[in-house]
A and B are shown apart, each in its own frame.
Chain A
């Protein structure tokens, strides 16, 4: 009987710690979860400004501009809508025009996005999953090769 009590105490303690962890996790998730936007999503549901989100799409060919203070400007597109992105810093090695990209940062208005991070990919044929999914939804998806080739045609 006494042993059973002890086991119960341990199980209760485990439950308390697990419960604490769950509450902590749920609160943190609610506060920190960041949504993914494709440019066309912006047309449907305007983004909340000044909340950290991810923006994904393809870097529009011919849109990349460097400025004198090290800021770069480029357009992220899903062939339906466009968003202007500005970013100060070094872009990842595989960032280039026509390539899939995910930018983390905040919308300053419905068509402008200030990126704090540009996510690097280590694989040159890689199109981020969300980008591929959203391209599929907008009917622009023809496989990773095609998605890139399409962009390269003027």
Chain B
């Protein structure tokens, strides 16, 4: 019964979203407040309907209702509670339902936000968002319905893919969708701005918090995914440049570009047209991501729940919103008057434009690399694959160029700036960075790139610190620390995020250059040597979990001073008929010892176990840096000054910016 209520609520939500769409667009067009009031009500109904639908689905999972096909395919009565809940969105149908709910949720947030000044803009934005949500719900209802019942319900379910039964991955899809779908609201606001004929500083001020929020969620989503891949897949890596990973990374990069260009539009009234274009493209890439992940047109190691037929629907939605958005963009080019805000060649505006050009080109190279295998067959006459070597060779140099200039550019003031005055303040940072690089070059003589990378990382960290302290009045005031804490959250956000980039760069460079890895075949009681450590397999214990069996190894590691114990294991999930590798890790100040247990090898008489051991130096810096980037986004978003819709007087803007 509850399942039917959910199904019904979802259909209701689809019609409510259509009504929201029509009323919102008409209300904005005719400047009729009654339509606006109506679209706000409809937005609430859409959200409540979609929420009831998801709750009904979760309820079916919690009660293990095996008359529902989706529950049978993805759940098991013995599955732990958290994975019953997460299982509802861990599959294709449920995840698209979550997509619709998040889209409706963002619309509801916008509808209830207190920016009444631009109500026609808001009305149109709710209209566009309503159309997006209505189409996604229609897709769920007609092409991928999670509420389908089975005529002959089985007694037990097939279980959720065991690899997905993991805390980080339970949270990964919701965060990723908050990011992807948040981009849809930025898109809606951009289209609304085009329709409204007002794409200016006020508009930029309205979209920026939404862009920041979705970018931050996307950052966290990617972080959780990378972290999961690192400890769950047992490969000792965290990023593989797989199409599915790129699908989330491309909107993130464009989102990064968007955040920076929106600052220029907000503070200086310039680059409005560019900001709108980025908003349209960022959402298009989010949809493309959904398509690539769900359709299986590209070979991915993360191949979940594929269905090429249903992919076509997503492709149609993608074509409609990208094509429609770009068409409108061309037709309404005249309303995006970028004649304001003249600036000199050396200025913050110039720096941000360059940042944007590089980020967009970097995104394009990833897009080409990701889609190239589709063309490859035509060009080479055979299937090809584009892997990490391509992306490393292209993406790394392009990003390095932006990052080298980042610390200097962050000092620039609006309109006109001087390189020499600012360069002086960065001399200490530069000297320390070079010393750091030389130290690394001395330690690792055969790895010059690692020294270059570390120099860049230190330069970024100290550059961010120098700029921040400067803002707090270093050299002018005695209580710099006190003044630093009094600075607006926005400045903290910028500082922390740029600091995070430096931390990430150091982590990524050191980890890739100095990772150690070795595979052993080891019997019980035997000892092997790894990087100055003695590794002994003490025993293998057979255990039983709620829905799995496990062979857990006890391995003692002696580095000459003390002994630590690691317990990598292999699990077998009988319902899904699938084994998983459960790695174990121990971190110290410099890195992490990482062990994955392979299959036993009993053919040679005495039973030997395959054990793969890694030492991943500075791995924590990679995830830590990424976390700092997300935290920076959060702090910027928390800045109340951003939320005020009324534009400040230009004098104030100049003061705030300097």
Contact = CB atoms under 8 A, between A and B. Distances in A.
A1 interface: no
Interface in B293-336: 296-299, 301-306
A17 to B, nearest CB: 5
Nearest to B339: A3
A5 interface: no
Contact of A25 (B296, B369, B597, B603): B369
Contact of A70 (B376, B519, B579): B519
Contact of B578 (A32, A70, A94, A133): A94
Interface string B348-392: 000001100110011011001100100010001011111101100
Interface stretch (A34-42, A75-83, A106-114): A34-42
B598 A70 contact: yes
A49 interface: no
A32 B393 contact: yes
Contacts of B358: 17
B385 A54 contact: yes
Interface string A41-61: 100000000001010000000
Contacts of B389: 28, 31-32, 52
Contacts of A88: 519
A14 B357 contact: yes
A102 interface: yes
A153 B548 CA distance: 28
B123 interface: no
A88 B517 CA distance: 12
Interface stretch (B37-45, B145-153, B202-210, B604-612): B604-612
A91 B580 CA distance: 11
B253 interface: no
Given A102-B299, A130-B383, A29 B163 contact: no
A92 B520 CA distance: 16
A34 B235 CA distance: 21
B544 interface: no
Given A33-B376, A90-B519, A123 B384 contact: no
Contacts of A70: 519-521, 598, 601, 608, 610-611
B603 A123 contact: no
Contact of A91 (B362, B376, B387, B598): B598
Nearest to A69: B521
A113 B303 CA distance: 25
Contacts of A94: 578
A119 B353 contact: no
A124 B603 contact: no
B608 A68 contact: yes
Contacts of A18: 357, 361, 364
A129 B608 CA distance: 34
A93 B163 contact: yes
Nearest to A38: B383
B596 interface: yes
B581 interface: yes
Contacts, number: 146
Given A90-B234, A90-B612, A120-B301, A41 B382 contact: yes
B397 interface: yes
B469 interface: no
Given A13-B357, A123-B303, A130-B299, A24 B398 contact: yes
Interface residues of B, number: 62
A89 B599 contact: no
Tell me what chain B mostly uses at the interface: helix, strand, loop, or mixed. mixed
B390 A66 contact: no
B598 A35 contact: no
Given A21-B394, A34-B385, A36-B382, A123 B305 contact: yes
Q: Which of B297, B362, B369, B383 has the most CB of A within 10 A?
A: B383
A52 B519 CA distance: 21
Contact of A21 (B234, B362, B385): B362
A153 B590 CA distance: 51
Contacts of A21: 361-362, 364-365, 394, 398
A34 B384 contact: yes
Nearest to B580: A93
Nearest to A34: B385
Interface in A104-137: 104, 119-124, 126, 128-130, 133-134
Contacts of B393: 24, 27-28, 31-32
Contacts of B565: none
A68 B604 contact: yes
A67 B303 CA distance: 30
A89 B577 contact: no
A24 B303 contact: no
A104 B387 contact: yes
Contacts of A69: 521
Contact of B365 (A10, A25, A120, A126): A25
Given A29-B369, A35-B383, A88-B519, A10 B353 contact: yes
B233 interface: yes
Contact of A90 (B368, B386, B581): B581
Nearest to A32: B389
Contacts of A133: 383
A34 B576 CA distance: 33
Nearest to A30: B390
A69 B361 CA distance: 46
B161 interface: yes
A129 B299 contact: yes
A34 to B, nearest CB: 5
Interface string B496-524: 00000000000000000000000111000
Contacts of B234: 90, 93
B254 to A, nearest CB: 15
A29 B364 contact: no
Contact of B394 (A24, A119, A126): A24
B532 to A, nearest CB: 21
Nearest to A14: B357
Contacts of A93: 163, 234, 578-581
A129 B305 CA distance: 14
A50 to B, nearest CB: 15
A102 to B, nearest CB: 7
B521 A24 contact: no
Interface string A1-24: 001000000100110011011001
A13 B361 CA distance: 12
Given A3-B339, A93-B578, A34 B387 contact: yes
Given A24-B394, A25-B369, 18 more contacts: A14-B357, A21-B394, A25-B368, A29-B390, A31-B393, A32-B387, A34-B387, A35-B380, A36-B383, A52-B389, A69-B521, A70-B521, A70-B601, A70-B610, A91-B598, A91-B599, A92-B233, A124-B576
24 contacts: A21-B394, A24-B393, A25-B368, A28-B390, A28-B394, A32-B387, A33-B386, A65-B603, A67-B521, A67-B601, A70-B521, A70-B601, A70-B608, A89-B519, A89-B598, A90-B596, A91-B598, A120-B233, A121-B303, A122-B161, A124-B576, A129-B296, A129-B298, A134-B383
Q: List the 9 closest pairs (A to B, CB-CB), nearest first.
A: A36-B383, A70-B521, A28-B393, A66-B601, A32-B389, A90-B598, A21-B361, A32-B390, A130-B383
